[in-house]
Amino acid sequence: MVGFYKKLFKDLSKEYFKDSTAENFLNYKLAVVVIEEISEDESIEEYYALVNSAGLKINRPELLKAKYYDTRFLTLLDNISALDELQKLNLFTAAAQNRMQDIDFVGELVSLLKFGIRDKKTGVDDLFESDITEDEYDELFNRFKAILKIVEKFNEIYPICETRYKQRNDFYTLFGFLNENQNLDEEALNYFYKLLVLIGEDIYPTNEDCLPLKEYARNCVTQSNSKDARMKRIGFLNELLLNTTNELNATQKQIIDFYMLSYDDKKSISGYLTLSVEKLQEIVKEPYLR
């Protein structure tokens, strides 16, 4: 409140403190609780976390910040969330950021880097509980930034915020795929992104005409945070993009059939066999990729 009064930052309406609203602001009544005595086995921080956990309006990331406010892991999440590379992707609304949902999601992605795919948010909880070392901080921060650099290139091809991959489950899947395949060259990664963008509009749970697309979508909405659903989503990307044989696999054939392409409409790139983006673009007019 003092910072707002001194015009150090704006309010939720993106406005600084001004004299026209000064009276209402300064007359706002605050509830104050005076803690007069604390026993040796108690702390104000634990009490604050307990009070927040009993409230109805405090969400998970806000509770975790109250409880683990001085951890290196929380500092890592704060600093990653503030990166320009992430902000420019426009993955989160202002309302979501105000409720720390961006920090919450970044925690899941960092957990993915640290532990691999796990159920729900167990990895995040473990990292908050145990905290991380300075070396782990540097490693995770740099690995996260390296993946963001790849996604930045994707964003130049087609804004990710205009695709289904801005959604948490889809971005988690894409992030996990990139984490496992950073050795791929830029040409291959950009090609794969174009392919994913082109099929994006046809990924939905009621797509009875293409089982692989339907199943991927179903794993985005049914137990979507489970390890099994997450593994299946990344498995779909591996089947579509990382075929190391000279023949189309079952997933690729079903997608080719869905778009009424020929089995000759395929592309070998960086040693992997996949679908032809050029031929698919002829069928899928929108979005048009640069």
- Does 37 fall in a domain? no
Question: 109-116, long-range: CB within 8 Å, 24+ apart, which pairs?
Answer: 109/144, 109/172, 109/175, 110/73, 110/76, 110/77, 110/80, 110/140, 110/144, 112/172, 112/175, 112/176, 112/179, 113/140, 113/143, 113/144, 113/179, 114/140
Q: How confident is residue 85, by pLDDT bands cut at 50, 70 and 90?
A: very high
- Six-digit token string for 149: 């650099």
- Residue 188 domain boundaries: 158-290
Residues 248, 253: Cα–Cα separation, whole Å: 6
Side-chain-side CA neighbours of 152 within 13 Å: the count stands at: 12
Digit-coded pLDDT (tens) for 2-17: 777 777 776 666 677 7
Which residues, including other chains, have CB under 8 Å from residue 31's CB and lie 6 or more apart?
none
Q: CB atoms < 10 A from the CB of 239, how many?
A: 16
Residue among 231, 148, 234, 237 at smallest CA distance from 192: 237
Q: Are residues 204 and 144 in the same domain?
A: no
- Does 40 fall in a domain? no
Does the predicted TM-score (pTM) go above 0.85? Answer: no
Residue 278's pLDDT is 96
Q: Are residues 147 and 196 in the same domain?
A: no
Least confident of 91-95, 111-115, 261-265: 91-95
- Does 162 fall in a domain? yes
Number of domains in the chain: 2
Residue 47's pLDDT is 63
- Six-digit token string for 76: 């890592």
Q: CB atoms < 10 A from the CB of 199, how many?
A: 20
Q: Are residues 152 and 169 in the same domain?
A: no
Q: Are residues 196 and 244 in the same domain?
A: yes
Q: Are residues 182 and 286 in the same domain?
A: yes
- Does 253 fall in a domain? yes
Which residues, including other chains, have CB under 8 Å from residue 107's CB and lie 6 or more apart?
61, 77, 121, 124, 127
Q: Are residues 113 and 164 in the same domain?
A: no
Residue among 212, 248, 253 at smallest CA distance from 233: 212
Cβ atoms 118, 64 nearer than 8 A? no
Q: Are residues 127 and 206 in the same domain?
A: no
Among 156, 175, 201, the domain boundary falls at 156
Among 124, 156, 188, the domain boundary falls at 156
Least confident of 121-125, 215-219, 255-259: 121-125
Cβ atoms 17, 8 nearer than 8 A? no
Q: Are residues 77 and 185 in the same domain?
A: no
Residue type (1 letter), 9: F
Q: Are residues 213 and 164 in the same domain?
A: yes
- Does 278 fall in a domain? yes
Q: Are residues 245 and 256 in the same domain?
A: yes
Digit-coded pLDDT (tens) for 178-212: 999 999 999 999 999 999 999 999 999 999 999 99
Among 122, 137, 156, the domain boundary falls at 156
Least confident of 31-45, 170-184, 238-252: 31-45
- Does 285 fall in a domain? yes
Digit-coded pLDDT (tens) for 32-76: 777 777 777 677 676 666 666 655 467 888 888 888 989 999 999
Q: Are strands 266-269 and 272-275 parallel, antiparallel or unpaired?
A: antiparallel
Whether a cis peptide bond, with omega within 30° of 0, leads into 287 is yes
Q: Are residues 127 and 184 in the same domain?
A: no
- Does 224 fall in a domain? yes
- Does 30 fall in a domain? no
Q: Are residues 120 and 140 in the same domain?
A: yes
